[in-house]
Amino acid sequence: MDQPATRAILLGSGTPHADPDRCGPAVAIVAGGELYLFDCGPGIVRRAAAACRAGATELEAVRLQRLFLTHLHSDHTAGLPDLLLTPWVLGRRAPLEVWGPPGTAAMLSHIQEAYRADIRLRLEGREPANETGWQARPHEIATGRVYEDAQVAIDAFPVRHGPAPAFGYRIAGRERSIVISGDTAPTDEIVSQSLGCDLLFHEVYSRAGFARQPADWQAYHREMHTASDELADLASRACPGLLVLYHQLFWGESEEGLIAELRGGYGARIASGRDLDVY
């Protein structure tokens, strides 16, 4: 069966929890042979290599060149030094282009400073390193159109994830539209951005598992993230072609249990995403 020209590969479905089966949050969108990465949690480069080995050759290391960050929390950015430097060591010549909220430029600058000795040794030593692939070009974004080329148009929209700016993204390809929530409490903005989209990647936590968490963590997640019943209501209003759960906080519940929680208020198509799933 032929794959759609615009497809999504879930490189990392995880959370800050150190689950060995789930790398940090990262989604790859492939459109017309071009690659666009969204977030870069721990493990992104090796997950990209696994996807490449499985047939997604667009994810070859030297082609990891465009990154869009939803926000700057560590579980969404801890793979940034790896994404910046490993593809360069493996031959990437293009600088890494990074779109993200205010603070993105400073983060990239500090990473480059932290690895300054390594970069210098590679450039001045016997390694045949090129002069450009270690560099980064930050683009700090606001709400609205942040990128467009012949394959996709990408719009950023605000989400609710604490005091620092955080964004979701809507990616419009030639024949499919994809929305990525990033980390967020439920918002009407996500509903409006997701109306009738083909794929909606949305974070979620188990309502049953939430009930067993300490009060301070309950207060945090209530304000910063989306519960299963809240996502069911949101998806019922947005009507995506497929709702893909990622950044799942199970807290002891099973995937089947989490989906059952959503089924209490949402009857359309749901997939509980796992690393390297393709949609």
The question of whether 2 is a catalytic residue gets the answer no
Rounded distance between C-alpha atoms, residue 262 and residue 241, angstroms? 16
Q: Say if strands 242-249 and 270-272 run parallel, antiparallel, or are unpaired.
A: parallel
Q: What order of strands is seen across the sheet that includes strand 26-31? A: 6-12, 26-31, 34-38, 66-68, 96-100, 136-140
Candidate list 2, 19, 21, 75, residue with the active-site label:
75
Question: How many residues are given for the chain?
Answer: 279
Cβ–Cβ < 8 Å for 244, 10: yes
Task: Indicate which residues carry an active-site annotation.
Answer: 75
